Amino acid sequence: QWNRVRGRLRDEYGEAAFKSWLNPLTLAEVRDGQVRMCVPTRFLRDWVVTHYGDRIRSLWSKEDATISGVDIVVLPTTAKMPPRATLVAKASNVAHVAAQTAAAPCEPANINEEIGAALDPRYTFDNFVVGKPNEFAYAAARRVAESDTVSFNPLFLYGGVGLGKTHLMHAVAWHIRERNPQRSVIYLSAEKFMYRFVRALRFQDTMAFKEQFRSVDVLMIDDVQFIGGKDSTQEEFFHTFNSLVDQGRQIIISADKSPSSLQGMEERLRSRLGCGLVADIHATTYELRLGIIGAKAEQMAVEVPRKVSEFLAHKITSNVRELEGALNRVIAHAQLVGRDITLESTQEVLHDLLRSNDRRITIEEIQKKVAEHFNIRLADMHSARRARQVARPRQVAMYLAKQLTSRSLPEIGRKFGGRDHTTVMHAVKKIEELRSADSGFAEDIELLKRMLES
């Protein structure tokens, strides 16, 4: 039966499509009116299901009227052979896979499905708008996606929230999967990585955990700052990382900070993370925001007046995610009420957002909040007193002024009783040191920051 179905598929879709997509399908079993077939990767599974799923189903039921459904599941066939150095691990890996295969044909060894995360189909290189702030990260990602050998290991992408790190990683994965479906590419968040690891610990299955990751060609871990402070995960991550690098596998990491500023990371891990190519994505510029609005409007086939685009690019400066969200709201509103997009309607739809994007934090506000928080007099922000209990809060306030406002060091110094810029610089350094040394203190600072930003 299967051979007949295959024959039909080949005739209908042609040799090329058949070879790339349908040939890897294997029949596992037919039971209780249910057909079960396997493919080696998740990507192939998704592709086959969306493009050929219906046809396969109808061909099967033509063959056998009792068949009511077709299941396509992922079963990796090629367990990659690790190099000689890990012979022991290799032997047990093979045993592991063999045992599972014998027990039940498709279910358990569902590796890619299990450890990776789904990719967003919108996050491709084509949909990524390149500008000054992200051109370097883009070029690096592109290079990694296009080369079959390891380029820079790891590629470390970092930048603030909503600036396109995840988008770029997915784009790399899509690109590789399209060009070379045999390569196993796994994308997952550091959070998920940690969750898997903890679960493996609980089921005393860390060996299988390691092997899963070590048989991957390209491993991408998103938001690695999440691992900060979680010692055993860091340890595991470090080993997995090293072993993949030693085997010449490509790794891509993202984080919200550069490797050297990652908090709660072990020194050796930090330096290892930074030893490939480190590419940062800067805050968006006006030009890039305008470009992104244009691209998204075009994608959605919506006419957005020039004035409105410019207005949005001026006003929504925080990050691309917010910008997208704002544009979506404006478009949705116009479509709902059935009117054209205008500057007035835009301002109205976005009034809440515009207010928060407009808000500028002042140094006076910071001084006031910090003084309250540490229970000192506001006047001590400007005074010459050097006692620790006033000097430290003053340093905190200077630090926050540097972080949360666009004032220069001399300007900040002036607002603190005419201090000089080196004093401010020293304060910033001091607080950064304390932050990484003392987690209680770091939390305090976070809290203050959040209060000021809200």
In the bound complex, what is the minimum distance in angstroms from residue 11's beta carbon to Mg ion? Answer: 44
Name the closest residue to Mg ion (Cβ).
Answer: 166
166 is in an annotated binding site: yes
Which of ligand ADP, Mg ion, none does residue 163 bind (CB under 5 to 8 Å by kind)? ligand ADP
Which residue among 100, 134, 153, 166 contacts Mg ion (CB under 5 A)? Answer: 166
Positive/negative CA dihedral, 195, 198, 203, 208: positive
Contact residues for ligand ADP (CB under 6 A)? 123, 127-129, 134, 159, 161-167, 292, 320-321, 324
Nearer to Mg ion by Cβ, of 166 and 212: the residue is: 166
Q: Number of residues in contact with Mg ion, rule: CB under 5 A?
A: 2
Are the CB atoms for 294 and 309 separated by under 8 Å? yes
Helix (H) or strand (E) holding 369: helix 363-374
Give the residue carrying structure tokens 């603030």: 160
Which of ligand ADP, Mg ion, none does residue 162 bind (CB under 5 to 8 Å by kind)? ligand ADP
Nearer to ligand ADP by Cβ, of 162 and 228: the residue is: 162
62 is in an annotated binding site: no
162 is in an annotated binding site: yes
With 0-12 CB in 10 A as exposed, 13-18 as middle and 19+ as buried, what is 355? exposed
In the bound complex, what is the minimum distance in angstroms from residue 334's beta carbon to ligand ADP? Answer: 20
User: Stretches 104-112, 161-169, 237-245, 414-422: which one binds Mg ion (CB under 5 A)?
Assistant: 161-169
Q: Which of 66, 46, 68 is nearest to 57 (CA)?
A: 68
In the bound complex, what is the minimum distance in angstroms from residue 321's beta carbon to ligand ADP? Answer: 4
Give the residue carrying structure tokens 């209680």: 440
b/e per residue, 175-211, with b = 16+ CB within 10 A? Answer: bbbeeebebbbbbbbbebbbebbeebeeeeeeebbbb
422 is in an annotated binding site: no
In the bound complex, what is the minimum distance in angstroms from residue 174's beta carbon to Mg ion? Answer: 16
Q: Is the peptide bond before 154 cis (omega within 30 degrees of 0)?
A: yes
Q: Which of 344, 348, 303, 349 is nearest to 329 (CA)?
A: 349
Residues 6 or more apart whose CB falls under 8 angstroms from that of 380 comprise 371, 390, 393, 394
Nearer to ligand ADP by Cβ, of 310 and 322: the residue is: 322
Q: Which residues are annotated as a binding site?
A: 162, 164-166
Q: Which residues are annotated as a binding site for ATP?
A: 162, 164-166
By the criterion CB under 5 A, which residues form the site for Mg ion? 165-166
